[in-house]
């Protein structure tokens, strides 16, 4: 099952890619899962300005970069969103990208890894509501990274060994979160397959 790790920050000097690499590596260690990083910085998505909600506009004309992002999302079976906290919420770039979504996340499951003030908890709470409105279920387990990510993670996405050894730290939380994500992703993949077979 393909799990996309969506990096939700785009600004210079961000640490999202470090955490994204860490998550992708952990995804690939879960039996049956295959991780792939999707970096918002690789998509030049313009500010959302469509006159009608995407979910109610079958004749919409979609910006080519936004469509490229949406088409990429569509091929995944599940997601892990890696988000920092900006001013008690998610980044504008991530919110803007998700505003374009219509059916891509529907009947699929997401997990959230957050970082920043109070572990990015307020951003994670906002993101959960946005994902649910986009049609994605969200597993109750989550990862909130406390402390400075630049000190905890190497450029290559390796978590500090002492922190990683703590079973109650971020590595343990990520493993529990991904295990739950794998279960729900398998269930929704099977359910969607049965639905298609019945058509």
Mean pLDDT (the chain) is 96
Q: Print burial letters for 91-116: b (CB count within 10 Å at least 16), e (below 16).
A: bebbbebbbbbbebbeebbbbbbbbb
Residue whose pair of structure tokens reads 């088409």 in the numeric block: 71
Residue among 50, 23, 44 nearest 93 (CA): 44
Q: Is the pLDDT of residue 196 over 90?
A: no
Mean pLDDT computed over 100-120: 97
- What residue ranges define each of the domains in the chain, with the CATH number in brackets? 2-198 (3.40.50.360)
What share of the chain has pLDDT > 70, as a percent? 100
d(CA 92, CA 98): 10
Mean pLDDT computed over 2-14: 97
Full-prediction pTM beyond 0.75?
Answer: yes
Mean pLDDT computed over 34-38: 98
């Amino acid at each position: 099952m393909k799990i996309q790790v969506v990096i939700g920050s785009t600004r210079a000097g961000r640490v999202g890619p470090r955490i994204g690499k860490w998550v992708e590596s952990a995804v690939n260690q879960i039996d049956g899962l295959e991780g792939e990083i999707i970096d918002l910085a690789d998509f030049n998505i313009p500010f959302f300005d469509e006159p009608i909600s995407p979910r109610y506009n079958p004749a919409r004309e979609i910006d080519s970069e936004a469509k490229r992002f949406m088409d990429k999302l569509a091929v995944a079976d599940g997601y892990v969103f890696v988000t920092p906290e900006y001013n008690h919420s998610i980044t504008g770039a991530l919110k803007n990208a998700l505003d374009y979504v219509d059916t891509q996340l529907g009947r699929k499951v997401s997990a959230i890894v957050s970082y920043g003030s109070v572990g990015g908890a307020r951003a994670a709470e906002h993101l959960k509501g946005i994902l649910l409105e986009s049609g994605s279920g969200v597993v109750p387990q989550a990862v909130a990274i406390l402390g400075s990510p630049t000190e905890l993670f190497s450029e290559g996405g390796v978590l500090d060994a002492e922190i990683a050894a703590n079973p109650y730290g971020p590595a343990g939380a990520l493993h529990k979160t991904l295990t739950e994500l794998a279960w729900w992703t398998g269930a929704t993949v099977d359910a969607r397959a049965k639905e298609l077979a019945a058509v």
